[in-house]
Structure 1
Amino acid sequence: MSALDLQFVRSQFPAFDEPSLEGQAFFDNAGGAYACLPVIVHLNRYYHESKIQPYHLHPVSQKAGKQMDASHERLAGYLNVSPEEVHLGPSTSQNTYVLAQAFANVLLPGDEIIVTNQDHEANIGVWRRLEKQGVVIKEWRVDSVTGELDPSDLDTLFTEKTKLLAFNHCSNVVAHINPVKEICSKAKQAGVWTVVDGVSYAAHGMPDVADLGVDIYVFSLYKTYGPHLGVMVIRDEMADILGNQAHYFNGAYRHKWFVPAGPDHAQVAAAQGVIDYFDRLHDHHFEKASTVQVRAQRVRKLIQEADAALLPQLLDYVSEHPKLTLVGPSNPAKRAATVSILPTDQTPQELAAKLVKQGIICGAGHFYAVRLLEALGVDPDTGVLRLSFVHYTSQEDMQQLLNALDRVL
């Protein structure tokens, strides 16, 4: 098939058959996407059949451990890394906190970390806290009008003291997609490690981490149709530098190194359901693929094209409406399907409340991007109205949103 079969896609998400959600158009996907059916099945099965300590001697324990291992292996395939490089923690915020503590043992006073003011606070605050240990924090700042980052700024930001660059693949407010591969190449040439927050990007196409050339890539599974876990890909060379952050006697188990609190067994086992869904998506639309990387590439393109088919409608509407101001680029090729809006005659919260009454699920606020909003001259206390969608959003959903905006504006 050359286009996404939306009927098939929505059949894979029980939320679309849920009576309490009937007539509701879901435009708050950047906060958390619907869970796909295979994830729910795996989770239910684990609690029914395997809810004992995994990896112990009993056959059920062995089965539980194999289910958890399968999630690491199958996620790794789609991300184009090894299973040992995939770590599943409680959330991206917790994962980056663990990372920062690991880097604190490696960095010396006077070493520099570059952060942006475009990121979610999870990829800013944890690094800034290292200032107390003598680490120098430098800020890669957005353009105060567009909210975009200019990679050429790094030419002056990088010094011989720069050790780490933390930036996002895509902003969760301005939605600008950064050229990650280009930036990571520039960093590598300067001898700088990279941590990329892909939370706002991964739902729009699971990335090929190896191709990006990043040292660490993090994102949230609950925003990519899965359970409430954070995925952290740490390339082997980087993991060896940072070392084991868990109990000393777990040094032989790489999966435990960066999850010191221990994994949520059931949710880890259910994580492979995301890949079940992507595989179903592939097999429904394409002929057999020779490798998992080919499957991943095809699914990524399919999802991105579905987003691209709807995004211009919303961008054009907002850009042309006299009572709305678009935050971020108006060019759909430069951004993800997350659209932030500033109303001119009411607060974002007031507008969101009116839309909710029209059956539109949406959100308003700063979305943990306080520094970005301050850089753009937007009051974080009121923030923006955010409308975000993914590939299971229909043309009917989009029309319901546009009609609702007409009515409430």
Structure 2
Amino acid sequence: MSNYQDQLDMALVRSKFPALSKDWAFFDNAGGSQTLQGAIDRVVEFLTHRDVQIGGSYEISQMAAEALMDGRIAAQTLVNAARPEEIVFGPSTTVLAQTLAAAMRSQFVPGDEIIVTHADHESNIGPWERLREIGVVIKVWPFHRETMRLRLEDLEPLMGPRTKLVCVHHVSNILGYVNPVEDIARFVHDRGALICVDAVAYAPHRAIDVQAWDVDYYIFSLYKCYGPHMAIMYGKYDLLAGLDGLYHYFYGKDKVPGKLEPGNPNYELAYSTTAVVDYIQSLAPNAAQRDARAALEAGFEQIAMQERVLTDKLLDWLRSRNDCRIIGDDSNPDNMRVPTIAFRFDGRNSGEVARAMDDYKVAIRFGDFHSRRLAELLDQTHDGGVLRVSMVHYNTVAEIDRLTSALTRILGQEMAA
């Protein structure tokens, strides 16, 4: 195997995440990353000094409104939206996808079509499936099992004049491969439909550019991207303005994004987005000499460098074993994988292996990760499903050695038994 070395100042990076001082090695980041101290500080600061309702004339209310707008502006930078009003906050990607589906209902008539893929997380399937009750036809973009890819040639015959929306993931939370959403969006738009992208498994790893990709809706969870438990939905402003309002009747169709945030968003969590963006920018070389967006992109380039080392090192080890099957493409050309890797060991129950790792204080996960249709499609629901190691840039080469050493001991013990 090659010699792998961390690409970041890991002591500095890890000092920003208080949970990393524990004895655990966290390899379940696709389920939820650790939270930045800066994000925690923003939450505390809001609740201590700004904890009132926005919309008042008095100073503290104005400070609360400023914090919420600062959060939107930070999210705008994070996704490269055209304006902060294109940012909708919510509690999770699942809820925001349900919000979007509910707000689009009046745009569909019986016989209209929505295309989903069974390679997606259920968050980007279930809300659209429920529109069958109003006569919407749901079609499935087939997953090509030989290449482990979604192919445009398989999408093309599904699309027609009644196709209104295509729903797809940017990265599968099992397969880890980055889909070419810019190409998919262009393909979909050329055929007169809109696109909704679930970006949960992508957002912690690479810079998002909704304008360059020309996506219509783009949703991800901040709690998987170094912040607290909340989520962000981007939508093109004109599209958001055309959605049904889900708030009080006097929130007109042009009240964007408020009409899609019934009861108002969680102010303190929205405010914490500023800390997430600040942190990623701080990873950029010469960050102070760059504008906000350029610093963010450069910060993500540093993240990608570290994550490639982690990905390739773990893939090397898994490929070295003759009892291991990696789920999906086991290569990483041009760093087109994020460090989310699913696998299983021959004759082993994945749940038993994962639980045995607990004794070594190495946190991994097993199952289908709410991508059950994909797990069923790949015949991977038996014996506890698959094992998944999901890393982010604060994981280290030494932690992978700790992971593989623990797995070697566990598998050796099972073989002996």
Equivalent position of 1:7 in the other structure: 11
1:231: how far off?
0.3
Structure 1 unaligned runs (5+)?
Answer: none
Q: Does the 8 A contact of 2:218 with 2:234 survive in 1?
A: yes
1:341: how far off?
1.2
Please give the per-residue CA displacement for 1:246-290, whole angstroms capped at 9, x wherever unaligned: 2222235412122224211221222222112123223xx325344
The change in CA–CA distance for 1:226 and 1:319 in structure 2 (over 3 A counts) is same
SS in 2 for 1:242: coil
1:291: how far off?
2.8
The change in CA–CA distance for 1:287 and 1:99 in structure 2 (over 3 A counts) is closer
Equivalent position of 1:172 in the other structure: 173
Paired residues in the alignment total 402
What amino acid is aligned across from residue 63 of structure 1 in structure 2? M
Cα RMSD between the aligned structures? 1.6
What amino acid is aligned across from residue 291 of structure 1 in structure 2? D
Please list, as runs of the form range in 1=range in 2, the aligned pairs for 1:217-228 lying within 5 A after superposition: 217-228=218-229
The change in CA–CA distance for 1:206 and 1:250 in structure 2 (over 3 A counts) is farther
**Structure 1 position 210 matched with structure 2 position 211:** yes
Please list, as runs of the form range in 1=range in 2, the aligned pairs for 1:50-129 lying within 5 A after superposition: 50-81=50-81, 82-129=83-130
Give the whole-Å Cα distance in 2 for the aligned partners of 1:260 and 1:49: 24
Give the whole-Å Cα distance in 2 for the aligned partners of 1:102 and 1:54: 24
Q: Does the 8 A contact of 1:220 with 1:228 survive in 2?
A: yes
Equivalent position of 1:357 in the other structure: 359
The change in CA–CA distance for 1:140 and 1:390 in structure 2 (over 3 A counts) is same
1:146: how far off?
4.7
Give the whole-Å Cα distance in 1 for the aligned partners of 2:85 and 2:70: 12
Q: Does the 8 A contact of 1:123 with 1:166 survive in 2?
A: yes
Q: Does the 8 A contact of 1:64 with 1:269 survive in 2?
A: no
Report percent identity of matched pairs: 33
Q: Does the 8 A contact of 1:142 with 1:149 survive in 2?
A: yes
SS in 1 for 2:260: coil
1:60: how far off?
1.4
Please give the per-residue CA displacement for 1:65-90, whole angstroms capped at 9, x wherever unaligned: 11111000121023111101011111
Equivalent position of 2:156 in the other structure: 155
Give the whole-Å Cα distance in 1 for the aligned partners of 2:289 and 2:330: 36
What amino acid is aligned across from residue 151 of structure 1 in structure 2? L
Please list, as runs of the form range in 1=range in 2, the aligned pairs for 1:182-201 lying within 5 A after superposition: 182-201=183-202
Equivalent position of 1:239 in the other structure: 240
1:138: how far off?
0.5
Equivalent position of 2:409 in the other structure: 407
State TM-score, norm by structure 2. 0.93
Q: Does the 8 A contact of 1:370 with 1:380 survive in 2?
A: no
1:149: how far off?
1.0
1:116: how far off?
0.3
Please list, as runs of the form range in 1=range in 2, the aligned pairs for 1:10-21 lying within 5 A after superposition: 10-17=14-21, 21=22
Equivalent position of 2:32 in the other structure: 32
What amino acid is aligned across from residue 307 of structure 2 in structure 1? D
Please give the per-residue CA displacement for 1:114-147, whole angstroms capped at 9, x wherever unaligned: 0001100000011011111110100012123453
What amino acid is aligned across from residue 374 of structure 1 in structure 2? E
Please give the per-residue CA displacement for 1:213-271, whole angstroms capped at 9, x wherever unaligned: 10000000000001111100011121133243322222354121222242112212222
What amino acid is aligned across from residue 201 of structure 1 in structure 2? Y
Runs of 4+ in 1 over 6 A off after TM superposition: none
SS in 2 for 1:377: coil
Equivalent position of 2:132 in the other structure: 131
Equivalent position of 1:304 in the other structure: 304
SS in 2 for 1:53: coil
Give the whole-Å Cα distance in 2 for the aligned partners of 1:220 and 1:205: 14
Equivalent position of 2:414 in the other structure: none
Please list, as runs of the form range in 1=range in 2, the aligned pairs for 1:233-312 lying within 5 A after superposition: 233-251=234-252, 253-282=255-284, 285-312=285-312
Structure 2 unaligned runs (5+)?
Answer: 1-5, 412-417
Q: Does the 8 A contact of 1:216 with 1:232 survive in 2?
A: yes
Give the whole-Å Cα distance in 2 for the aligned partners of 1:206 and 1:214: 14
What amino acid is aligned across from residue 318 of structure 2 in structure 1? V
Q: Does the 8 A contact of 1:165 with 1:192 survive in 2?
A: yes
Give the whole-Å Cα distance in 2 for the aligned partners of 1:304 and 1:382: 31
Q: Does the 8 A contact of 2:71 with 2:272 survive in 1?
A: yes
What amino acid is aligned across from residue 297 of structure 1 in structure 2? E
Please give the per-residue CA displacement for 1:168-210, whole angstroms capped at 9, x wherever unaligned: 0000011121110000010111111000000001010231111
SS in 1 for 2:161: coil
Q: Does the 8 A contact of 2:324 with 2:343 survive in 1?
A: yes
208-217 vs 267-276, greater mean Cα deviation: 267-276
Give the whole-Å Cα distance in 2 for the aligned partners of 1:203 and 1:247: 34
Equivalent position of 2:384 in the other structure: 382
Q: Does the 8 A contact of 1:366 with 1:380 survive in 2?
A: no
The change in CA–CA distance for 1:11 and 1:105 in structure 2 (over 3 A counts) is same
